[in-house]
Structure 1
Amino acid sequence: MNVAVDHIATDQPPDDSKARDLDYGWQSGNQVQLLENGEAYFPAVFEALRGAEREILLETFILFEDKVGVELHSILIEAAQRGVKVVVSLDGFGCGELSPGFLRELAEAGVMVQMFDPAPKTLGIRTNWFRRLHRKIVVVDARVAFIGGINFSADHLADFGPEAKQDYSVQVIGPAVADLHHFALAQSGRQVRSRRGWRRRQQRPSPWTNEPGDGLVRLIYRDNIQHRDDIEEAYIHALSQARQRVVIANAYFFPGYRLLREIRNAARRGVQVQLIMQGQPDVLLAKLAARMLYDYLLKDGVVIHEYCQRPLHGKVALVDDEWSTVGSSNLDPLSLALNLEANVLIRDRAFNQQLYERLEALAHNHCQTMPEKRKPRLWLWRLTVGFLVFHVMRHFPVLASWLPAHKPRLKPFEATPHDV
């Protein structure tokens, strides 16, 4: 059984002249709501999905068959059965444990299920580690969108226990939804029409709200074709303009020298720079890698907190009292050089202040602050190793091209005969 698709898409945009180089500008008049953890995110997304009338576009890195995944599964099936076009794009690594029956039920209901780079296990081990579809985007009826770092899994809920993740997403209503809609359509391989028509539709009254917002929003993303450095460059530009404060909360922190230099330079010119890192990591290597960079930053006044209550999974930042970003991109080689990622940039003072207050509470109530003076033992060795590891990872796509060809593809779900 095949799930119908218009065509198969690789990690570059489909062959459409309007979608070949997707580059989005700032859109004004948006309402942006911060959603912290699954307790805020899942109810908002599920309400929007239940109210869908025409179309649902959903892509996620992880979908598990737990209580969150089962509820999403039910909502999507019900939407498809009432005539809503539902397109679900999943990552073959992050969603590699989904049962064929779970996917088959979606397909039989009319949900168009697509898997990015699916691959069978080799000796019981998944080998499709790199160039993941790491984005988390939901767009409903081209009227409301959600983007951030939260996957569809119960480990984003506090009742999961000590391993529950701390994370953030945003809900966007307004003109910027047209860009998210356009992007999600193009990346899923759907036919992309003129964005001008979507702009006109966005001006019509929305079922979610009739009130314009104050937020400027811009969609940025990275792919492995024309937008390799867009997210990194956005961080660098914002940091270079910082005058008062910078707060970065990032789960996997191991950026390149240019971004590290801008963080250090901001602190040197008197900006209050705070980094919130993992203290209880879900991947121990992430903590060890980040700590290799601490001395370089601490000596110039950067304040580093390690969140110790549970694993930090957030990918958010703010600069001064207006600029913020929320999305799927970590600040490590995988996100900055390999994965397919998407963030939104937000210029909104109220949103910036809300995010600042949430992160300040996190830092003061649940974090351990690293001492300003640390023993410089083996500092040069750690920095050298860190530099080499980063640049090996950063050039991994080129190195990988020397191996037998492997291009990750977005493929329709296919059930084998014994699964039907």
Structure 2
Amino acid sequence: MAGRWFDGNHFTLLENGEAFYPCVFQRIADARKEVVLETFILFEDKVGLALHEVLVAAARRGVQVDVTIDGWGSPDLSPQFIAGLREAGVRLHVFDPGPRPFGLRPKLLRRMHRKIVVVDGEIAFVGGINYSADHLADYGPEAKQDYAVEIRGPVVAEIHRFVHANLTAGSRHGEHRRFWRWRRQVRHAAHELPHAGTARAMLVSRDNSFHTTDIERQYRLAIRLARHRIVIANAYFFPGYRLIRDLRRAARRGVDVRLILQGQPDMPIVKTAASALYSHLVKAGVRIYEYCERPLHGKVALADDEWSTVGSSNLDPLSLSLNLEANVIIRDRAFNAHLHERLDHLVRHSCKQIQAEELEASGGFVHVLRSFLAFHLVRLYPSLVSWLPRHRPRLADPAVLAHAYAHRDGR
């Protein structure tokens, strides 16, 4: 989905779980009518249990609560955890929950990777932070560095419409008719939400039907139009050939292009894949910084003094060609400046710059061959992944889900 622009919005940057969880939980605690939440990962740890508590409390006081999790990203919720939600009236939905023949996950690809919350149709959250304790600093060296935004203003109605459309996907015809009547109401309501700030904003998503390249297209447009700076902080960096080409061209025309990538990755293959592209980028003038304090999980970027994006989409084959993702595009000088200050803080205090001399010193036939193969793989992968199955995903209802988990656990 590449939506329309909405004026008059306000964005608050939330860095890591320490800022994100208290804010989200408080908004849910204050909800009067409705909470809709989507997340890739929900773990039954101290964060997941805290979310469980506020969702149950909201449902018990009459708030309509819909929670969608991914069946692969959140595979180990106990029957008791699920039953507690159901008994309170929370409607739990699971994106492609199975089946799992012989314990395998045949539908591993094309996951629901979005992280969105909408409360009362008035406040929204979009970003990359899941509901798990590894987004908190006290988790230790493996705690993730990540970002989300709290949103107020007219664009929230568009996000509200989007999450409800996801809930009705695959429903019966009668439900679709009710949805289309409701959608017209929400479109009208989008003009009635009061302005909350100065930001112009757009929700942009990626799916496997009609919006397969929308997020990548917004990145490429911002890179091509940039005049003096581009900063991209992305956890999993292995983008397509066209985006790599745009970054190289931007650097060659004098734009200060900076990439902040993982130096302490949660999966070693992430760094291996990204580093195979370093030579091509550094030779063109792109500055690459590896964040070495802890695993980087962020998916944020900015261009010049106004354009920014925050969301769930990485710049790798999974996010750009397979997963269901959602980002917000923000045009606001104040937000851009604040995001730039926070990313610059990472660069100055927690990053190591990759130097051209180091890349040359690590050269050799194997390095050159690996770099050559990686560079040409990014040219081919969009066409390669198009051959992968595009099964129609489904949302399981709570009863089916509880039965599936109980059967899996032998209960």
TM-score (norm 1): 0.88
Tell whether the 8 Å contact from 2:233 to 2:298 is kept in structure 1 after alignment: yes
2: distance between equivalents of 1:281 and 1:147? 23
Tell whether the 8 Å contact from 2:153 to 2:193 is kept in structure 1 after alignment: no
Runs of 4+ in 1 over 6 A off after TM superposition: 417-420
Q: Secondary structure at the match of 2:387?
A: helix
**Map of 2:335 onto structure 1:** 351
Q: Secondary structure at the match of 1:399?
A: coil
Once the two structures are TM-superposed, the CA of residue 385 in structure 1 deviates from its matched residue by: 2.2
1: distance between equivalents of 2:117 and 2:106? 27
Equivalent in 383, 392, 395 of residue 407 of structure 1: 392
**Map of 1:289 onto structure 2:** 273
One-letter identity of the residue aligned with 2:56? I
Map 1:129-144 onto structure 2 (within 5 A).
Answer: 129-144=108-123
Once the two structures are TM-superposed, the CA of residue 275 in structure 1 deviates from its matched residue by: 0.3
Once the two structures are TM-superposed, the CA of residue 188 in structure 1 deviates from its matched residue by: 1.3
One-letter identity of the residue aligned with 1:43? P
Tell whether the 8 Å contact from 1:62 to 1:91 is kept in structure 2 after alignment: yes
Tell whether the 8 Å contact from 1:334 to 1:393 is kept in structure 2 after alignment: no
- Closer, same or farther in 2 for the Cα pair 1:44/1:132, shift >3 Å? same
| Counterpart check, 1:27 vs 2:6 | yes
2: distance between equivalents of 1:205 and 1:242? 32
1: distance between equivalents of 2:105 and 2:375? 28
- Closer, same or farther in 2 for the Cα pair 1:406/1:225, shift >3 Å? closer
Gaps of at least 5 residues in structure 1 are: 1-21
Equivalent in 353, 357, 374 of residue 386 of structure 1: 374
**Map of 2:18 onto structure 1:** 39
- Closer, same or farther in 2 for the Cα pair 1:63/1:362, shift >3 Å? same
Between 1:80-89 and 1:234-243, the stretch displaced more is 80-89
**Map of 1:255 onto structure 2:** 239
**Map of 1:160 onto structure 2:** 139
Once the two structures are TM-superposed, the CA of residue 247 in structure 1 deviates from its matched residue by: 0.3
Map 1:57-136 onto structure 2 (within 5 A).
Answer: 57-136=36-115
Once the two structures are TM-superposed, the CA of residue 300 in structure 1 deviates from its matched residue by: 1.3
| Counterpart check, 1:170 vs 2:155 | no
Map 1:261-272 onto structure 2 (within 5 A).
Answer: 261-272=245-256
2: distance between equivalents of 1:97 and 1:388? 38
Tell whether the 8 Å contact from 2:248 to 2:281 is kept in structure 1 after alignment: yes
**Map of 1:315 onto structure 2:** 299
Deviations 1:353-389 (A, max 9, x none): 0000000010110011101232243455224422454
**Map of 2:200 onto structure 1:** 216
2: distance between equivalents of 1:78 and 1:47? 12
2: distance between equivalents of 1:271 and 1:84? 49
- Closer, same or farther in 2 for the Cα pair 1:346/1:205, shift >3 Å? closer
Once the two structures are TM-superposed, the CA of residue 286 in structure 1 deviates from its matched residue by: 0.6
Q: Could you tell me the percent identity over the aligned residues?
A: 53
Deviations 1:70-102 (A, max 9, x none): 011111111111111111111000011111221
Deviations 1:173-203 (A, max 9, x none): 0000011000000011173545563355456
Deviations 1:196-238 (A, max 9, x none): 63355456677xxxx6300011000000000000000000000
